[in-house]
Chain A
Amino acid sequence: MSGEVSRQGREIVMPGDLLEGDNKLRPGTGTYVSDDKIYAALLGVKTIRSNYVNIIPLGGRYIPTVGDSVIGKVEDIGPSNWLIDINAPHPAPLHVNEVPWRVEFGDTARYMNVGDVILAKILMVDETMRFQVTLKDQGLRKLQGGQIVEISHSKVPRVIGKSGSMIQIIKNYTNCRIFVGQNGRIWLDGDVDGIMRAIKAIQMIEEGAQSFGLTEKVREYLESTSPQTVPNSE
């Protein structure tokens, strides 16, 4: 099966698989070039877009991309920054200049402490994979209450769905506020029952084998466990 090239459909490929040998496509993410041929570098799904062949990874850690919204946890504090764990290969520094408060040198603990959770954005990523986050943008803030779940970051698009369709279904049926970070962390807030059901739905999607009919399966689950249809749910 190795060396098989397919241009249509989504095909699972793995490191070393030949993607393209006749110069018709350009090498995108998750690929490498050797001897003028394009090979897969990752275990993932092969997709072709604007003549570029890309591999969408099926697993792995989150690799920060500028502009991504992420949910992070403060794991350490310095006099002029906080270190935020965002499930990437390194924790991301958040400098005092990148928060909406005026923080004096050494006063960082007053605003945020170890264990606090924030909704942040990736501010920059340089060629040496050094990156930083910021809280200075619309909607970014410290999060309180609710619950956090972690899924594989590669499943985030599936949880969000086409134009947000899947996440909207979950929100509607559970009345939860839900925020999905690109790094695979999801924050939910609502009543306890709603949160539990939303988490169950998200787990169904993450483990979900078949992608055909997944939306229906999730909707069915949420409908059947909705407070209106379960009269004595506590």
Chain B
Amino acid sequence: MSGINDDIKLIDENGIRIDGRKADEMRPLKIEAGVLKRADGSAYLEWGKNKVIAAVYGPRECHPRHMQDPAKAIVQCRYNMMSFSVSDRKRPGPDRRSIEISKIISEALEYVVFTENFPRTSIDVYIEVLQANAGTRVAGLTAASVALADAGIPMKDLVPAVAVGKADGHVVLDLNKEEDNFGSADLPMAMIPRTGEVLLMQMDGHLTMEEFDKGIEYAKKACQEIYEIQKDALRRRYADQGGSDETDDEFSSIDEEA
């Protein structure tokens, strides 16, 4: 795309962004849990034009063996972008950016998972981006969190994540691709709404303290919204299976074979 930064007006005089949103509005977010058969847990997510799928295998034997922790499970996340997910085809395979993102997502998830319950195992989380439009790492973490719950992994809480930034001098929530490319700050973060704990945060660009505070306010509110969408996805997956009048909820006595 040719054109210098000055040509792109990211926010107009009425505070409306190029995709019609106001500064503190999120792009539409849809999540569906349990979309794959072989994975222990999975989730598919569409956020603006982002399309992301996350899957979880585990807890299972830790490979490579030397990474095993005798006291707990390790959470190994692999974030990857499919080659056709971006404008210029990306060569398949991990690059330095994916490796860094994989690491910080693993760390965020490691905080909430009760890893002490499963010594010597690995909980493998795979995030694949089918289509990218800014905010894929927070989309990936949001989906991964749902996939972990779907896989029955014990956790403290679900982890919503969102990015805030600065476009044309305004603090904005949930950057789209143009705002990410031509804006002047990008701050992805993950936060547990109930406790306010921040599990992932990166920042690049230029923000004053006031802008930072405003960004955090937007992010906090958004995380609450995202959290509700995550829960709703899980609730819908098992919508009709809560009530029961016919089966014991304890493990019934095992039918010993005659």
Query: Which residues of A are at the interface with B, using a C-beta cutoff of 8 A?
Result: 1-2, 9-12, 14-16, 30, 32, 34, 39, 41-45, 47, 49, 56-61, 68-69, 89-91, 119, 128-129, 138-139, 154, 156-158, 160-167, 177-180, 182, 209-212, 214-215
Contact = CB atoms under 8 A, between A and B. Distances in A.
Interface string B33-75: 0000000110000000000000000111100000000110000
Given A32-B114, A61-B59, A129-B119, A10 B243 contact: yes
Contact of A163 (B117, B238, B252): B252
Contacts of B59: 61, 89
A49 B255 CA distance: 23
Interface stretch (B84-92, B155-163, B214-222): B155-163
Contact of A61 (B40, B71, B155, B252): B40
Contacts of A177: 257-258
A8 to B, nearest CB: 11
Contact of A43 (B149, B239, B250): B149
A90 B251 contact: no
B121 interface: yes
B253 interface: yes
Contact of A154 (B120, B152, B228): B152
A27 to B, nearest CB: 13
Interface string B203-236: 0000000000000000000000001100100110
Contacts of A211: 240-241, 243-247
15 contacts: A1-B228, A15-B154, A16-B192, A32-B154, A39-B157, A45-B241, A58-B238, A154-B152, A157-B250, A160-B255, A161-B252, A163-B252, A164-B255, A166-B246, A209-B240
Contact of B241 (A69, A138, A209): A209
A1 B234 CA distance: 13
Nearest to B155: A15
Given A12-B241, A45-B249, A157-B247, A179 B234 contact: no
Determine the interface band of chain B, counting residues with CB < 8 A from chain A. 35 or more
B58 A89 contact: yes
Contacts of A212: 243-246
Interface in B187-212: 192, 194
B61 A161 contact: no
A162 B245 CA distance: 10
A177 B258 CA distance: 8
Interface string B150-177: 1111111110000000000000000000
A186 to B, nearest CB: 10
A60 B152 contact: yes
**What does DSSP make chain B's interface, helix, strand, loop or mixed?**
loop
Contacts of B227: 2
Contacts of B235: 12, 14
B118 to A, nearest CB: 6
Nearest to B149: A43
Contacts of A164: 252-253, 255
B1 interface: no
Contacts of B255: 160, 164, 167, 178-180
Contact of A161 (B60, B157, B241, B247): B247
A210 B244 CA distance: 8
Tell me which of A128, A160, A182, A214 has the highest count of chain B C-beta atoms within 10 A of its own C-beta.
A160
B249 A10 contact: yes
Across the A-B interface, the 3 shortest Cβ-Cβ residue pairs: A60-B152, A16-B157, A89-B59
Contact of B119 (A43, A91, A128): A128
B242 interface: yes
Given A139-B256, A214-B246, 20 more contacts: A1-B231, A2-B231, A10-B243, A10-B249, A11-B242, A14-B158, A15-B149, A41-B156, A45-B241, A61-B59, A89-B59, A128-B71, A156-B251, A157-B247, A157-B252, A158-B244, A160-B253, A178-B255, A179-B255, A211-B244
B248 interface: yes
Given A14-B231, A41-B155, A162-B252, A58 B121 contact: no
A72 to B, nearest CB: 15
B58 A42 contact: no
B254 interface: yes
Contact of B242 (A39, A45, A129, A161): A45
